């Protein structure tokens, strides 16, 4: 009878461990790493501004380093490995506990950094940088500026020479498409296309906070101000 009670208790604990494991897995799927996104946005924005001012078209972002403690797929035993014939309740709990730990650890690793090294992200960044350089004179004159939603808008058409005025809206539209593509590619590279708008919010803060002196940016209420 005592043996049956122990087994029932262990079975209940096993169900609890399984529930925690599934909850941890869900957390990995829905958690947006805001701090990592802001860190990446700050890095990319710094590089775009620097390159535009220096006349460079190249952006270099260090690829995401593999965790030194993460075992390889071939070497790591599966948390759901089929037990042997003598696999008891204690061992079942051990495997379930390990699954919970791996899921929670996966959440922590996802929050630590974002992957920005994919070819699609690199191409998107190069396009943003090249167009930012082309638009440099219009930023400097105050004709255009960064909005509070991570894009660019025409602010003062009178600051543009008449011969160039007709082409500027198209340049602004093209640049906004490049910016939105960058945000989308970063989200896609990290397996979460739904993060695109949140990544855009992170970049919006960076574009405004790091804008060079003389650039015009929008405040939270939409008012324009010169850096």
Q: What is the DSSP secondary structure assignment for residue 84, as one 8-state letter?
A: -
- Give 77-102 pLDDT, tens digit per residue: 444 444 445 545 555 445 444 544 44
Query: Is the pLDDT confidence value at 174 over 80?
Result: yes
Q: Which residues pair with 51 in a beta bridge?
A: none
pLDDT of residue 30: 57
pLDDT of residue 54: 73
* Collapsed DSSP state (helix, strand, coil) of residue 156: coil
Query: From CA 147, how far away is CA 215, in angstroms rounded?
Result: 11
The residue with greater pLDDT, 196 or 3, is 196
Q: Are strands 216-218 and 224-226 parallel, antiparallel or unpaired?
A: antiparallel
Q: Which residues of 202-227 are buried (b: 16+ CB within 10 A; e: fewer)?
A: bbbebbbebbeeebbbbeeeeeeeee
Query: From CA 152, how far away is CA 163, in angstroms rounded?
Result: 21
pTM of the entire predicted model: 0.67
pLDDT of residue 35: 96
Query: Is the pLDDT confidence value at 103 over 90?
Result: no
* Collapsed DSSP state (helix, strand, coil) of residue 167: coil
* Collapsed DSSP state (helix, strand, coil) of residue 74: coil
Query: Is the pLDDT confidence value at 105 over 50?
Result: no
Query: From CA 128, how far away is CA 185, in angstroms rounded?
Result: 12
Query: Is the pLDDT confidence value at 223 over 60?
Result: yes
- Give 125-134 pLDDT, tens digit per residue: 999 999 999 9
Distances (CA, A) of 208 to 55, 77, 195: 21, 47, 20
- Per-chain mean pLDDT for the chain: 77
DSSP H helical segments within 31-152, as ranges? 34-54, 89-112, 119-134, 136-141
* Collapsed DSSP state (helix, strand, coil) of residue 216: strand
- Give 24-75 pLDDT, tens digit per residue: 444 444 589 999 999 999 999 999 999 888 754 443 444 444 434 444 444 4
């Amino acid at each position: 009878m005592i043996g049956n009670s122990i087994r029932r208790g262990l079975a209940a604990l096993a169900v609890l461990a399984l529930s925690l494991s599934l909850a941890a897995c869900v957390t990995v799927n829905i958690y947006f790493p805001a701090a990592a996104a802001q860190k990446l946005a700050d890095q990319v924005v710094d590089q775009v501004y620097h390159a535009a001012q220096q006349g460079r078209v190249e952006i270099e972002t260090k690829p995401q380093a593999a965790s030194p403690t993460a075992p390889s797929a071939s070497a790591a035993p599966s948390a759901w490995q089929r037990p042997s014939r003598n696999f008891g309740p204690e061992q079942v709990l051990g495997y379930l506990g390990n699954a919970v730990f791996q899921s929670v650890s996966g959440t922590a690793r996802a929050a630590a950094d974002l992957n920005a090294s994919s070819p699609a992200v690199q191409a998107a960044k190069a396009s943003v940088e090249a167009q930012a350089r082309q638009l440099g004179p219009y930023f400097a004159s105050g004709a255009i500026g960064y909005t509070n939603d991570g894009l660019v808008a025409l602010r003062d058409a009178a600051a543009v020479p008449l011969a160039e005025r007709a082409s500027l809206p198209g340049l602004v539209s093209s640049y906004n498409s490049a910016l939105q593509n960058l945000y989308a590619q970063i989200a896609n590279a990290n397996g979460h296309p739904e993060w695109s708008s949140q990544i855009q919010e992170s970049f919006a803060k960076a574009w405004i906070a790091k804008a060079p002196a003389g650039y015009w940016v929008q405040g939270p209420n939409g008012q324009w101000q010169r850096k």
